[in-house]
Chain A
Amino acid sequence: MVRSKRRSYKRGGGIFTLPVALFLLTFIVYPFLFNVRLAFTDGGGDFAGLVNFTKIAADKSLGNSFGLTVYYVVGSVFFQMLLGTAVGIALESPFKGRGIVRSLILIPWVLPGAVAATTWAWMYHGDFGIITRFLSFGLSGERYGLLTRPWTVMPALIAVNVWKMFPFVAVMVTAGLQSIDKTLYEAARVDGAGRMAEIRYITLPGIRHVLFSVLLLLTIWGFNSITLIFIMTQGGPADVSLILPLHVYRMGFMFFNFNTAAAESIFLFAILAVLIAVYLRVFTQGEGGDE
């Protein structure tokens, strides 16, 4: 009796999710299909086969952008993970004012990307930047604007991206640490393990799922990021920081070549689809028993 009542209560609420489903269909699925159509047609809307794709395959600047994007993403994610994990674990040890420190380190992450970009651009400024000033010590007064020299641009941008996103890693690591069984540490201490051994054999394995999903998220966001670079260098100087999303934007909204831009979007999307598939697989594993 009670059981049947419960079931009827649970069934048929799909209508609640209708607005979400309709929105996804209109503003995500449809644009996506539309993009595919654009990529296979010419400017007049006629079917063009693979013309747009052969065009982008022959485009050396796109290959250059791809290489730069990998450089930017790998460089950023490596240091974000390293610093974020270290800070997350360091914040585990109790001390006075830990709550305040936890809040303060979130500031870079909360700051609007545009604000972060303008502030760092100002600090990197070739004549009056504070970082430029620090770097010119001992260099016979020669000023060194990091964003104006081709070989320093990418490291300088990566530094900003690390600063901006490592707090996210730290937050996630801190949250993940709470799920570790504290008795493991006590057992390890009885066995005479040092702090480094504890981190290596208990802490890191205990948060490996968190670390893995954060790693994938950062990679996806990295491939999709544009704000910092758009404001700080606009892809320059001489295209040395022209990452893929910027390339797509420029093709579509500065050269107004929508069909080529759509083909480039599909290229960008294909890279991300692989990452998203991996992420979904890992992320939905724990949800399996839900249905």
Chain B
Amino acid sequence: MKKYRPGVMIFLFLVCVFCLFPFAWMIISSIKESGDIMSVPPTLVPRKATLSHYGDVFTKSNIPRYFVNSTVIAAGSTLIALAFALLGGYGFARYRFKGKSFLQNAVLSSQMLPTAAIIVPLFIILRSMGLLNTYLGLILAYLIITLPLSVWMMTGYFRSIPADIEEAAAIDGCGRLGILVRVVLPISIPGIVATAIYCFVVTWNEFLFALSFATDKNVMTLPIGLAEFTREFTIDWGALMAASVLMTLPIVLLFFTLQKGFISGLTAGATKG
């Protein structure tokens, strides 16, 4: 068991380099001076480190505004998804009712739904509701993507909690909703956190819906802001890399502080079959 395999170690080392190099290159490029970025051949280490690109992003671009938009939309969508997923997951995990397995299958299959195949009808529906270029429009659209797996994750989590305490609370005269809020929620924090991270990360990163439903600068999100950069005639690569680093920071921080619960929550469903 304890045998040390040099071949495996070298392989894993190369894989790490492959994984990290683009990430590292993004950071390196973001602190190079403009002349240094455009040098041929490219230098691995910046001749002189500078934060001027970050300054440019903050003062000369729309990125700060997009950052706010992304935060509002991701947070809003996450909260609503959580509320729905808590109720739905609890219903699936604890109760029997007519049409339950049908509904569960519907949730599961909508998780696979190709978003590219519904952008057109969704655009028309959101337009008729006056929700194009609004926070609410994108928040609702993002539930389409995050809700199915959120319900799935919460159902799995609730199933892993023994029902004894809830039964005791029921005997003590606690109502159904009361049990969920006062008894189940406090002991479900790890599951809720994992689901929340999943929702936030997915919404923060989403591209196609944002591209189709939010073209106004007042609601545009960060991924579209980055894409906008790359379509300018002369691309300011230093600023673009700085903006990329800024967009990545919250996600990487969130992910690595709370990684354990997230991975186990996500893989629990998939490894069952």
* Interface check A146, CB cutoff 8 A: no
Chain A nearest CB from B206 CB (Å) reads: 8
Which residues 77-129 of B sit at the A interface, judged by CB distance below 8 A? 83-85, 87-88, 90-92, 94-101, 103, 105-110, 112-125
Let me know if B41 is at the binding interface, CB within 8 A: yes
User: A86: nearest residue on chain B (CB-CB)?
Assistant: B11
Docked Cα-Cα span, A24 to B81, in Å, equals 12
Question: Among the listed stretches A56-64, A70-78, A120-128, A150-158, which one makes contact with chain B, having 4 or more residues with CB under 8 Å of it?
Answer: A120-128
Q: Does the CB pair A231–B120 fall under 8 Å?
A: no
- Give the chain B neighbours of A91 by CB distance below 8 A: 12
Contact size class for A? 35 or more
- Contact present for B226 and A30 (CB under 8 Å): no
Which of B94, B204, B223 sits near A10, CB closer than 8 Å?
B94
Which of A111, A128, A245, A283 makes the CB contact (< 8 A) with B237? A128
- Smallest CB–CB gap between B46 and chain A, Å? 13
A192 within 8 A of B: no
Nearest B residue (CB) for A186: B1
CB <8 Å contact, A280 and B109: yes
The smallest beta-carbon distance between B108 and chain A, in angstroms, is 6
Report Cα–Cα, A282/B108, bound state, in Å. 12
On whether the beta carbons of A10 and B22 are closer than 8 Å, the reply is no
CA distance A116 to B100 in the complex (A): 40
**A224: interface (CB < 8 Å):** yes
B244 to A115, Cβ gap below 8 A? yes
Picked from B3, B20, B110, B227, the residue with its CB within 8 Å of the CB of A231 is: B227
Main secondary structure of the interface of B (DSSP, over half): helix
Please give, as numbers and ranges, the residues of chain B lying within 8 Å of A138 by CB-CB distance.
none
Tell me the nearest residue of chain B to A100, going by C-beta. Answer: B16
Q: Which residues of B contact A6 (CB under 8 A)?
A: 167
Closest to A143 in B: B40
Q: Which chain A residues (247-269) contact chain B, with CB distance < 8 Å?
A: 248-249, 252-253, 258, 261-262, 265-266, 268-269
6 A-B pairs, CB-CB below 8 angstroms?
A11-B95, A19-B83, A28-B118, A93-B8, A95-B9, A220-B112
Other contacts beyond A13-B94, A171-B263: 15, CB < 8 A: A9-B167, A10-B95, A20-B88, A28-B118, A93-B5, A104-B16, A112-B247, A114-B222, A122-B240, A122-B241, A127-B40, A167-B19, A268-B117, A272-B114, A280-B109
